[in-house]
Chain A
């Protein structure tokens, strides 16, 4: 698989053989922090491609926006990645080597991301890069990653339609979030009609396309589809349209500052989300966003994602405690932050499974790498470099947290090129 690096070869990584089978065949390869404590293997064995690995350290890169408009969103990811690195170091590092990170600022500017990637790969020879947030930055970085054969661990839920041998996608691709969310609304809430609303760029548009196809398949109706420019702050007209169309569900993928305006204006227009008429299902409002919107404005909306801070499992309790200890009690943790936390861990497991830092060697062992201490519960890397993960539905409370009201029985298979949804 690792050799299929051409663009044409991306798609046929193959669809998984189904959940059960994969579980059975791959469970055996799990190993957690046990083998790593063995004698530290010599550097020339584990690093044949000149990465920045010494006998006791290994360098990785963290590449997010610290400045500019995206800094708001990306800071959580930086914190999570640093936390994971710290924890890995405390537990003995990777192949006996302590992780050192080089942090670069993408400055919310896509060429800067590409430049910094080039710097990290060419000058610093980092063994892995944890970074990027927007699709645009990932798209800018991608050719560089492929050219210098780096490995990017990308945390954001995104639109799919991509499968690079040089990226591990630790967030969900669109179908994982959307299909489960819509199925839930239809089954549990009896939804029949949907109004699709998003900011005007690729992720909402692709997501709504998938949603629309899925709704069509279920024989239900989409009564409206609407996009507003990024940063738009006046939603009165669309609110009126929604009132006119009376959908059962508003399916919202509005992002950034627009979010704040949208929910405040919905509330002011007399829409009480707790009445669920219409029900609002979002794929873009994490706990992070609620802080800006204000919990009282979103009480009663539902979000469909893989992680909520309130998830009740021991992994998550430890994670939340560690995160708050590191960064303060008032921190909130959203879906992407958790996904960013997975990156360093998944890289560590892959390195240790491959017994090498070489990118080509770890690429061969990715499929099936598991992380059962993941805050979200359990994840596993699919052959297509995305993660198997569960999707949850949360209901927002005034305190800015979600109550998890539903989770999928089984792991959702990642399907970045969903047939029948394009």
Chain B
């Protein structure tokens, strides 16, 4: 969306010197990277490289030991999770986390960016605008026909889409997706890639993914992480041919 380009360098997201340690173990170590508006960035790296932790840090789930995360000019490290969401960051978890007891419609409705305070939630009414927004998003995520189904009955892939839909309806500037195609069938995978391409028309997206085929399909740029640090960054071809990356992935 109309990203407020107020940061000095016009980055939507600027992560600088980010460090977090758990009992002395540095899961993320002096990490810096920058996202342009409307960019699709994929983070790859071996297990334990700290990819998920980076997302946790940006969305506030984990508090940074040091460093800064500037989003559209706002310092995120000092905000609470819901404030970070309100400033335009949406995050999808690795395992699909949707509200299984609620229907698809209600899942999306709960995520609709209105009535987020206690009193707001008490006063919230399902008006035409809400229904319209829900239906629009449902269309995007291929779930128009399943609106009245409880989310528990969806397939694994559909749940992933629903969760993405729950982010979309919040109209965030930055979408963070943790392994969106993990555990999906080939057909679902293709559909998801299509979905992501649709989404990226007007969102900045930060994705963690293992599937290099999929990464190649969607990424503008790729950041390779290793042991909490950036190992390499650039286009997919660039990182694929980077000797350091080859060393890490194939060397041992």
Do A and B touch directly, given a CB cutoff of 8 Å in the complex? no
On B, residues with C-beta under 8 Å from A are none
